[in-house]
Structures are given as C-alpha cells and as structure tokens.
Amino acid sequence: MWTWRKPHLGSTAQRGSAVSRALEYRHNKAVGLCAHCGKRKPAAGRTRCSRCIEYARHALADRRARLRARRFCIACGNRPASPGLARCAHCLVLRRTKSAAKRAKRRALRPPRELSRAPGTYVRGRQLHQVFGALRILRRGRWTIRELADELHIHWRTGYRLIDALRRIGVTVEVSREREGDRGIGSGYYTIPAEPLRKLLHLR
C-alpha cells in the first residue's frame, strides 16, 4: 500500500509538520472522514475514500515503473536492484524475514496436527465451513457427488471426505442408486433425512 515517505526530522519545522499530519490523520479517522484528504467518506472497511485509494494505486504504479526503468529497488528506491529481480538484496532479506515471522505466527495459532486429524474433530474454519455447507445442501434433496462438488466449488474427492465427516459426527447420510450394482462417480444420490438439525447432530 502506498504511504508517504517519513521525512528527516532534523528541524523543529519538520518535526511540527510530521506531528500535524499525524494529528490530522487521527482527527479525520475519528470523525468518520477519509484519513488522507478529510473531504469524503471512507470506502467500506478502509480508512481512505475511493478517490484517494485510486490515486495511491496509480502513484505506486508510476513510482515502481520509474524505479524499474532506472533498475532501482521498488521497495526502498535507494539502492540498485539485484540482477534479474525488482528489489535490492537488503529489501529481499527484510521481506523474507517478515514472511518467515508471519508463517511462524500462523503456525503457532494452528491446533496440533494430532487434534486436527482426530476422528470427529474439525477445528479448522475452512473444514467446518465445508462440512456445514454439505449438511445444508444435502438436506435440500438428492445430490450426486459431482453436483455437490460443483455447488460447494470443491473437488469431487473432497465431496466424499465431507460425507465421511458427516457420518463420523453422527449424521445419517443416505445413498440411493438408480440401478442395483451401479458404481463409480456420480452413480449414487446422497441425501440427509429432513429432520431437525438438533436431532441430526444429536444435540439436546
């Protein structure tokens, strides 16, 4: 994201200018205006208005284009870029260090692998979303694995895993075939009985 470059705070005037910009940013944000211009309402979920966001996007693209033309680092703009790359060696090390720290933080927040693979335990948000999505869809009628996978935007193998997951937590998933002995992908129609959700999940 484009940000203004931090000035050299050597003089009193420069320090006062930086402080006034910080105070103006906080004031605009507090009163519900664009933190950059203070004239318009900010975009949804952002601190700046759509016009300032678009301006910053174009300014960043222009800055990077000028630095690439001069073969300078697009991150700091002070050092030549490494051969065949867009950043200098110093910024590459910083980027890799930050990425490694982010990955370590995400790994620390993950549950233990033994817990996530335990039968009947689904602690990951994506898996939980897919399981309840399959539960909601299968209660609406008869679906083949292909139709279920298309509806949830998943691979058909994941559809079989979701059905196994529903059965492991106690949900009755019925399967019917048009002809006895049919096998293969798409030959079976899966459905869940139209019972109250609390009864399906064995909740009191």
Q: How do the domains of the chain map onto residue ranges? A: 12-109, 118-200
pTM tops 0.75, yes or no? no
Residue the block writes with tokens 């009163």 = 31
Measured CA to CA, the distance from residue 160 to residue 153 in angstroms comes to 14
pLDDT of residue 112: 59
Mean pLDDT over 70-79 rounds to 92
DSSP letters along 86-103, please?
SS-HHHHHHHHHHHHHHH
Residue 105 pLDDT class (50, 70, 90 cuts):
confident
118-200: CATH number: 1.10.10.10
Mean pLDDT over 93-113 rounds to 82
Instruction: Work out the number of other CB atoms within 10 angstroms of the CB of residue 38.
Output: 15
Q: At what angle do helices 156-168 and 125-138 cross, to 10 degrees?
A: 90
pLDDT in tens, 113-172: 555 555 555 445 667 778 888 888 888 888 888 888 888 888 888 888 888 888 887 788
